[in-house]
Structure 1
Amino acid sequence: MGSTIKHEETGPLISPSLLQKIDKLREKNIGKHIPLPQLVAVGDQSSGKSSLLESLTGIPFPRNVELCTRYATQITQRRDEETRVDITIIPGVDATPAHKKEVEGYRSNARSMEDLRARFPEILAEVNAKMGIRSDATSKGGTVFSRDVLKVEICGPKEDYLTIIDVPGIFRNPTAGVTTKDDIQMVRDMVQDYIKDSRTIILAVLPSNIDIANQEILTLAEEYDKDGERTLGIMTKPDCVTETTAKNSVCSIVLGKKKQLNLGYYVVRSRGADEEDDEYERREEMFKQAPWNKLPQNRVGVKALKSRLGDLLGHITRRAFPTLRKDVNEMLRLTEEEEDGLGPSRYDQREQQKYLFGIAGQFEHIARASRNGQYADHPIFKENPTLRLITSIVQLNDEFNRDFETMGHLRYFQGTEPKYEIARPVEKAKSPFETVLDRYRRLIEQDDIGEVGNIVSLEYDINKPLTGIMDWIGEVYKDCRGLDLGTFNAGIISSVFKEQSSKWERMVRAYISVVILCIHHFITGVLNVVCVDRLVREELWAAISDEVLERYKAAVEHTKFLVSIERDETPFTLDPAFNERHQTARGSRIAGSLEQSSVGGAIFSADQIRTAVKEKSNVEHSKEEIHDILSSYYDGARRHFVDNVFKQVVRRHLLSGEKTSPLNVFSHGWVFDLTDDQLEAIAGESPTTKEQRMKLRNKIKDLKEAKDILKH
């Protein structure tokens, strides 16, 4: 409670509007989040609590043990020009949506207190039915106690502002066919829930005819109010105390000589179960007799108690109000942070689509930036340089093109053989492209993306070209020679080109495979960043992976198609540079023959040139011609083939093709086409998260309403 409340501390009357705000907060169940200033009457069954409340409020509460209070009741009295009584039900804090709707729909009213007293049994029966309370011991189904709260608001021009909450009385032994041991514990838990809050004044109702040392409610109150600073003792049934020593003992308690409480004790006499509803002053004539007449007048009787309760309620409300705003704002902030910690909401299909749209938008933005080399557009490229996609692919292109140019042919062409051969070490030195390939082999192991293993081919044990091309061409020529007059079969060019390009398919498959691994590493790496929820990421990948893998396969198939066009068809070209290369090769060969027979910088005659040409045999001439044609054609075909592979497979199929690139599978359009079931399967929240989010949303809604109430 903070500072101590003195025995008779009073102050100026509290503003009714301030107390109304507290009641509005209570109606919104804000008390389950923030302690509210309140008076709570607690006591054992048969402690006289119902009679006391009737004396304080005029409401005829049932006294029969089988009809005792089964739920908390909030009685509010406030001054108003119009006389009326409004009865509503506040759903329990854990009420289901269906039950909440059922009880919140209940409304009843009375024109006056007389009307209420006449109709109260009927109203209670309606309330019990709404709450699902079992009507009697013979009834089946329903519950004995409820966490719903019955609210009775009494308005009138003579009413003073007072709000008291009555909770079911504590009992220790179950009644056969009525209550159980579970009910005993439920009531005890309910009482504890109400009295534990620091802004609650505990009105401990204690029958005078039972030794105070045996009053369990005081022991229970001490658990939450160790110093007795917010517990007020109310002694009931003084008329049941007959012995003088017992009366004196009660007086000693009220005078603060026993079991002291900071707020002290009051003694009141309420109407008994068999008494008529007369004015309480008549019943309290006994306080004019000894030994009661020795007690302070402001400590005996219902009127004195009611005045004191009004002062207490005003005091704790006035003292708590400034900190209530702070507490509500702080709890609202913490609750909103907790909801934010759950990530973007994915409660229904609209939110799930919005969530995936956000992820897809980030993915598309990063993919576009990476394809264009705009690495300043997102911090991901600084944090993980391996995701710089176009830079990685340009490096791959350079290394592969270099390897393909120097090692893609089976045999060195004449005049390109190395001048000398360095002795090979035990382990063959790796080419630049093989080094890059090894790096991506390690990446695939780190990323655990082995599902691509059935698509890619990482075999790349490529040897240097062989020597002796002219001898090999001679053998092919002899094996294919027919009846000709110094010429050769055109099919020989097809044969030698196919064998000379026999490494192409394996080399280009490895190249495309590394590009695929590079792209796959990019896709999975970016998804890890833009989709932080592991379960959503796994479901998302499961949804797009088939199409992504199909697009990888399509790129590989198109690569095979390009290889087939180059190697399986009869060599032919419209490239004008082919003829130029061929003539240059022929001229160079003649010049070479002349240079071998010349001395110094001699000038050759026409006869010498003719002699140099016609001294060669038909076989030698054919071998040289086949070599020159093969060399000229191979050079152009290689360049054309490498360009086609990059343009058609890498750039078109794998990087930018709207319908072919794996980078374009996950997009806004893909998300837009998902069905409700697919959205739920991919982005739906788990039942636990949904339940937690709904609770947080309801709490935020309550706290925002509380903030508005406290603001005005």
Structure 2
Amino acid sequence: MATHAGNPNMELLIPMINQLQHIFTSVNAKLTLTLPQIAVVGAQSAGKSSVLENIVGRDFLPRGGNMVTKRPLVLQLITSQGQEYAIFGHKPQQRFINYADVRAEIENDTKAIVRDDMGVSSLPINLTIYSPHVVNLTLVDLPGMVKVPSLGQPADIVKKIDDIILEYISNENCLILAVTPANIDLVTSDALVMARSRDPMGKRTIGVLTKLDMMGKGHNARDVLLNKVVVLERGFIGVVLRGQRLDEYGRISKELDIPGALEHERQFFQNDPAYRDIADRLGVPYLQRTLSIQLTEHILKCLPDLQRELQSRHRDLAKEVAEYRASATFDTSTTSDTKALVGLTHELHETFDTALQGTHLKEADLKTLTGGARIANIFRERFPFELVKTELQDKDMRNQTIVAIKNIRGFRSGLFTPDEAFEYIVQMQISKFEDPVMKCIDMVVSELLSVIHETANKMKRYPLLRQVTEDLLTQYLRERDIATKQACSAYIQTQLSYINTNNEDFIGFAGQYFCFFSLKEKRTVIRKGFLRVHTGVKLFQAKDYFFVLSTDNLSWFTDLDA
């Protein structure tokens, strides 16, 4: 295995890549560069976490019987003298001295993103560990693969985990650390199958065999470690993990600490005849050195292309910044931040006002309605159309009114038409207006959101300011949306609470009803004629009336003309 001990500059390559990663993370930029790294891939019970902890030499990863790695962990190891400490990318100012606190922070930050205890997320956690006991190395611990969702896990958990893994190993600059237990059939290894899907020739894959001490008496993985079973260009490395094991009497022994586990591993390889002659190429210390060397050499190989990508990206950004400055309506070199902000705010106001008022006409505006014109179209065409769909036909309304009158009277024959029938029909019709009104508000809000988005794009030369401005305007619009709907709903409820039967539209409808009803009465007259009614004791108080008795009513008039 080649080393880089003769060239101290080689040792700076991994920290340089780590620094690039930190820079892109700190500015919240989506990486368009494929940075060299090592992704750790394996099944849920393959022992990935134990391998990483043995490499670091500390217990710092969450443990549990179920899935514990729910987000990618970008682990950057930096060789440094003095006290060990860890720093998280989301808490760059805080140093973690206690590794129990590191484990707790990983769990807390995972829960902050993955609300579901059984879910996963592709959003990575960035952790840097400074220690004299590590070599410069960058590893990405990925969620363990599963074949079948367990109880409580989402139905698509298998696909989600596979998608996260593929996102990393599809990067041609990414080395794949495929972790496989030695006590399973190698050709069925989930890690190797996944690695082969993106690295069919095995040029980027490094095989790691775990649990060599659990293969059973008479079995060993010597041929696999000698690259005679599954061929990988970078070969296989065997390790022995700590954990519960049987002692010489068949009893379960206590889990070893990391120093004890490393010593147990050394003795196992030295004493086992199958591995004794290759023991110097096995174990966690050898794995640690090999990964550091291979990653460094891989970075060196990728460096020319990476440098060209960085320079190209730098030129593009410089050109973009120059365009931003050229498009500014004020001199950014002499204008204070406050004045610049006021200028941008004024420009935003003018653009928004223009979009709604339509004071300027551009050539593109001749093809489609925009801004205020679309809102006007909603009020003039869409809203009336929605209202018309709720209206009853006159015939249907008359029929409903007649049925309502009869239902209110029951078996009684009334002399007067009950107001409740008309009020109920009117209230029912008014209540139907609420849905079109709310729909109209939603359509207007949607158009205003589009105007806000287009207007905020005027600030695209200041991405953070543009985003904050759009968020604030959107939030204010949402608040007004709620208030408008509440006001319209209250107005409709007000109209429903009191029906003005003196309204001429109401009287007109009632008149039509009476005409219709009176025509019906004329066709169903049973008897009519004059009749003297005594209204008092004395004879002179008697009065003549003209009565009409129909199937539905008894009507009387003072004279025949009436």
Is structure 2 residue 195 aligned with structure 1 residue 216? no
CA distance in 2, matches of 1:338, 1:697: 12
Q: Does 1:155 align with 2:127?
A: no
**How far did residue 201 of structure 1 move?**
0.6
Counterpart amino acid of residue 227 in structure 1 = M
Partner of 1:26: 21
The 8 Å contact of residues 352 and 683 in structure 1, kept in 2 or not, is answered as no
Report whether the alignment pairs 1:328 with 2:310: yes
In 1: Cα distance, 2:448 partner to 2:290 partner: 59
Query: Distance in 2 between the 1:682 and 1:344 partners?
Result: 23
- Structure 1: 5+ residue runs without aligned partners? 1-7, 90-103, 136-142, 365-522, 544-676, 702-712
Amino acid at match of 1:253: V
Matching of residue 284 in structure 1 with residue 292 in structure 2: no
1:225 Cα deviation after fit? 1.0
CA contact (8 A) 1:251 1:295 kept: no
- The 2-side partners of 1:223 and 1:335 are apart by 35
How far has the Cα of 1:305 moved from its partner?
0.8
Letter in 1 for 2:265: R
Unaligned stretches of 5+ in structure 2?
245-253, 330-343, 376-444, 468-562
Paired residue secondary structure (2:183): coil
1:256 counterpart SS class: coil
Shift of 1:355: 6.8
Cross-structure match for 1:304: 286
2:479 corresponds to which residue?
A: none
Secondary structure of residue in 2 paired with 1:153: strand
Matching of residues 324-473 of structure 1 within 5 Å: 324-331=306-313, 350=346, 352=348
Distance 1:130 1:542, change over 3 A: closer
State the shift of 1:257 in Å.
Answer: 0.9
Aligned partners of 1:57, 1:15: CA distance in 2, in Å? 21
Residue 228 of structure 2, aligned match among 257, 260, 277? 257
Which whole-Å deviations, capped at 9, do the CAs of 1:288-340 have from their partners, x for residues lacking one?
23443355344211111111011011112222223223213435666899998
Distance of 2:173 and 2:372 partners within structure 1:
50
Q: Report which of the two has the higher share of strand.
A: 2
Counterpart of 1:268?
Answer: 239
Deviations 1:605-642 (A, max 9, x none): xxxxxxxxxxxxxxxxxxxxxxxxxxxxxxxxxxxxxx
In 2, are the aligned partners of 1:70 and 1:168 still within 8 Å (CA)? yes
Shift of 1:144: 2.4
Cα 1:690–1:76 shift into 2, 3 Å: same
Quick one: distance in 1 between partners of 2:267 and 2:52?
Answer: 19
In 2, Cα distance between equivalents of 1:225 and 1:65:
31
Matches within 5 A, 1:180-259: 180-244=154-218, 246-247=219-220, 250-259=221-230
| Aligned residue in 2 for 1:550 | none
Given the superposition, is the C-alpha separation of residues 70 and 13 from structure 1 closer, same or farther in structure 2, using an over 3 Å criterion?
farther
Residues 69/542 of structure 1: CA separation in 2 closer, same or farther (3 Å cut) = closer
Report the residue type matching 2:144 in the other structure: G
CA distances 1:447-470 after superposition (whole Å, capped 9, x unpaired): xxxxxxxxxxxxxxxxxxxxxxxx
Say if 2:298 is the partner of 1:316: yes
Matching residue of 2:398: none
2:275 to 286, 293, 298: 293
**For 1:351-402, what per-residue CA distance to the aligned partner results, in whole angstroms no more than 9, with x for missing partners?**
546879999xxxx9xxxxxxxxxxxxxxxxxxxxxxxxxxxxxxxxxxxxxx
Q: Residue 536 of structure 1: CA displacement? A: 8.8
1:286-685 counterparts in 2 under 5 A? 286-293=268-275, 296-331=278-313, 350=346, 352=348, 527-528=362-363, 532=364, 539=371, 684-685=452-453
In structure 2, the partner of 1:83 is 83
Counterpart Cα distance in 2 of 1:323 and 1:251? 38
The superposition leaves residues 590-618 of structure 1 with CA deviations (integer Å, 9 ceiling, x where unpaired) of xxxxxxxxxxxxxxxxxxxxxxxxxxxxx
* Structure 1 pair 157–221 and aligned structure 2 pair: CA distance change class (3 A): closer
Work out the number of aligned pairs and report it: 359
Alignment match, 2:477: none
| Cα distance in 2 for residues equivalent to 1:167 and 1:161 | 20
Q: Which has the higher helix share?
A: 1
Q: Percent identity?
A: 22
Q: For 1:194-235, what per-residue CA distance to the aligned partner results, in whole angstroms no more than 9, with x for missing partners?
A: 111011110000100001110122121112112111100000
- The whole-number CA distance in structure 1 between the counterparts of 2:198 and 2:318 is 30
Q: Residue 292 of structure 1 aligns to a residue in which SS?
A: coil
Deviation at 1:160, TM superposition (A): 2.2
- Look up the equivalent residue of 1:238 and give its one-letter code: L
Structure 2 distance, partners of 1:219, 1:690, is: 46
- State the Cα distance separating 1:70 from its structure 2 match: 1.3
Matches of 1:21 and 1:535, distance apart in 2: 52
Partner residue in 1 for 2:389: none
> How far apart in 2 are the matches of 1:31 and 1:681?
26
| C-alpha contact 2:239 2:282 (8 A) present in aligned 1 | yes
Q: Offset at 1:276?
A: 1.8
Query: How far apart in 1 are the matches of 2:172 and 2:462?
Result: 24
Distance in 2 between the 1:533 and 1:199 partners?
47
Aligned equivalent of 2:96:
110
The code of the aligned residue for 1:83 comes to Q
Q: Following the alignment from structure 2 to structure 1, what is the Cα–Cα distance between the partners of residues 142 and 461?
A: 26
Instruction: Quote the offset at 1:187 in angstroms.
Output: 1.0
Tell me by how many angstroms 1:146 deviates: 2.4
Matched residue type, 1:55: N
In our comparison, the structure showing a higher alpha carbon Rg is 1
The Cα shift of 1:172 comes to 1.1
Deviations 1:534-583 (A, max 9, x none): 6798559999xxxxxxxxxxxxxxxxxxxxxxxxxxxxxxxxxxxxxxxx
State the distance in 1 between where 2:172 and 2:9 align: 20
When normalised by structure 1's length, the TM-score is 0.44
Indicate whether 1:166 and 2:138 are aligned.
no
Aligned partners of 1:25 and 1:31 also within 8 Å: no
CA positional deviation for 1:54: 1.0
CA distance in 1, matches of 2:14, 2:255: 34
Tell me the amino acid that sits aligned with residue 36 of structure 1. Answer: L
Contact 2:62 2:106 in 1 (8 A): no
TM-score normalised by length of structure 2: 0.55
Say which structure, 1 or 2, has more relative contact order (CA 8 Å, 6+ apart): 1
